[in-house]
Amino acid sequence: MDEALQKKYIPMTETTYYTLLSVIVPRHGYAIMQFVSELTKGRIQLGTGTLYTMVGRLTADGVVRIELTEDGKKAYQLTEIGMELLQIETQRLENQLQDGRETLGREGQNG
């Protein structure tokens, strides 16, 4: 993986992370917004401007690609590079969560 690309995306913003999760399978813009909202139980609501600006950047960087659906709509799908970035970020978040739980468990017993 290109080191500059990894530096650009890791750590990832929450909206980028959830957008990448949503395009593991091809989805058009509205479906991405619905998926993210449902997955986060409404905590994250992507606006169209935010989404399309982000997807444009992700596409330009080769993280997602555009596919046309049978009905001619643009759908977005994760590329191999995008999957690799998503896996790196997920591992980073898992490590962070583990560190937090261990520290809170240890320090919480002292307080």
Q: What is the pLDDT of residues 16-73, one digit of tens each?
A: 999 999 999 999 999 999 999 999 999 999 999 999 999 999 999 999 999 998 888 8
pLDDT value of position 110 = 64
pLDDT value of position 111 = 55
In a domain, 110, yes or no: no
In a domain, 12, yes or no: yes
How many domains does the chain fold into? 1
Counting runs of H as helices and runs of E as strands, what totals does the chain give? 5, 2
Domain enclosing residue 65, as ranges: 3-105
CATH number of the domain where residue 59 is located: 1.10.10.10
Spatial separation of the C-alpha atoms in residues 94 and 27, rounded to whole Å: 26
pTM over 0.85: yes
Higher pLDDT, 2 or 91: 91
In a domain, 89, yes or no: yes
* 32 alpha-carbon distance from chain centroid: 11
Strand, helix or coil for residue 74: strand
